[in-house]
Amino acid sequence: MTKISLTVDGSKVSDDVEPRMLLVQYLRERLGKTGTVIGCDTSNCGACTVHLDGTSVKSCNVLAVQADGSEVTTIEGLAAADGTLHPVQEAFRECHGLQCGFCTPGMIMQSVDLLKENPSPSEEEIRLGLEGNLCRCTGYHNIVRAVQHAAGQGATTGAVQA
């Protein structure tokens, strides 16, 4: 066992973990952060995307011990303490940027990171920035619109309801 200490969604945690435990397993199984979804276990789908020290990572590709001393933000930690949704979460809701919801946490976390790096991306830049996150339901149109809306580009017009 290896001792780790990190901050998850603003709360400090210390724990003993197996050196081979993945961050996604630690978040879900030990901390109950089930909004971080296990999709493919191969880092191909992006459903498990979280922020590690402010940068999006696929948590199925990071060992829990690698997060020692770091700050992790999950989809549960994105909203304000009073429950107010993050602007990207709100945009996904308003623009119907989800259907079954399985990919949504990872899409939102990746979108937040994308907008941090590029606050006013073009449609092509959004599609490129989300390329490592897969959705099997939506066809991506409303996801792109949601990111545009969150960026202040007013892309709600023409959103197709799921």
> What is the model's pTM?
0.91
Residue 160: band (very low, low, confident or very high) from pLDDT cuts 50, 70, 90: very low
Smallest CA-to-CA distance from 151 within 131, 109, 123, 128 is with: 123
Q: Do 57 and 49 meet the contact criterion of CB atoms below 8 Å apart?
A: yes
The pLDDT assigned to 154 comes to 54
Q: Is the pLDDT of residue 162 over 60?
A: no
Distance CA 38, CA 76 (A): 15
Q: Say if residue 38 is in the same domain as residue 56.
A: yes
The pLDDT assigned to 157 comes to 40
Q: Say if residue 73 is in the same domain as residue 6.
A: yes
Distance CA 89, CA 65 (A): 29
Determine the average pLDDT of the residues in 4-26: 98
Is 155 part of a structural domain of the chain?
no
Is 130 part of a structural domain of the chain?
yes
Is 118 part of a structural domain of the chain?
yes
Q: What is the total count of domains within the chain? A: 2
Is 159 part of a structural domain of the chain?
no
Q: Say if residue 49 is in the same domain as residue 99.
A: no
At which of 77, 102, 133 does a domain end? 77
Is 126 part of a structural domain of the chain?
yes
Q: Is the pLDDT of residue 105 over 90?
A: yes
Tokens 């978040």 label which residue? Answer: 27
Is 162 part of a structural domain of the chain?
no
The pLDDT assigned to 42 comes to 85
- Which residue range forms the structural domain that includes residue 40? 2-77
Is 161 part of a structural domain of the chain?
no
Residue 138: band (very low, low, confident or very high) from pLDDT cuts 50, 70, 90: confident
Instruction: List pLDDT tens digits, range 16-68.
Output: 999 999 999 999 999 999 999 999 878 899 999 999 999 999 999 999 999 99
Q: Which amino acid is at 152?
A: G
Is 158 part of a structural domain of the chain?
no
Q: Say if residue 16 is in the same domain as residue 39.
A: yes
Q: Say if residue 6 is in the same domain as residue 69.
A: yes
- The helix or strand, by DSSP H or E, that contains position 106, with its residue range, turns out to be helix 104-117
